[in-house]
Amino acid sequence: MSYDRHNVFARILRGEIPCKKVYENAHALAFHDINPLMPVHVLVIPKGEYVSFVDFSAQASAEEQAGFVQAIGAAAKACGVAAGGYRLIANNGADAHQEVPHLHVHIFGGKPIPGRMIKQEGR
């Protein structure tokens, strides 16, 4: 999928629309989701033009990839869920119902999260 420079996260990165920033480094930005589904619901995005993990992992530099991963951990710590626990989700593509075509990871937390997406009986 080609990158749409008019998507809402591209506009946040260009400063055209505001966000409630949680954390930022040279390669990534974390901010509160505008429609939180949990007490803590933060999004972490790379600053580069990537739609999904497929193109990010194939095309982003080692520094960009490291910066993005570092920002996810730092944002989890900054928003206060590191001790209690949190869930990371990244919707990629149509089947996953990705709404914004700029790579992002959701951080959910702030209370016990219902459901286990991967249940391994007997382990």
Footprint on this chain of ligand AMP (rule: CB under 6 A): 8, 17, 19, 33-35, 43, 91, 97-100
State in angstroms the smallest separation of the CB of 121 from ligand AMP: 29
State in angstroms the smallest separation of the CB of 92 from ligand AMP: 9
Strands of 40-46's sheet, edge to edge? 21-24, 28-32, 40-46, 105-109, 86-89
Pairing between β-strand 21-24 and β-strand 86-89 as defined by DSSP bridges: unpaired
The Cα 66–Cα 87 span in angstroms is 20
- Residue with Cβ nearer ligand AMP (6 or 123): 6
- Residue with Cβ nearer ligand AMP (5 or 63): 5
The Cα 101–Cα 22 span in angstroms is 21
Structure tokens at 99: 């709404």
DSSP H or E run through 105: strand 105-109
- Residue with Cβ nearer ligand AMP (31 or 83): 31
State in angstroms the smallest separation of the CB of 123 from ligand AMP: 29
Query: What amino acid positions are annotated as catalytic residues?
Result: 104
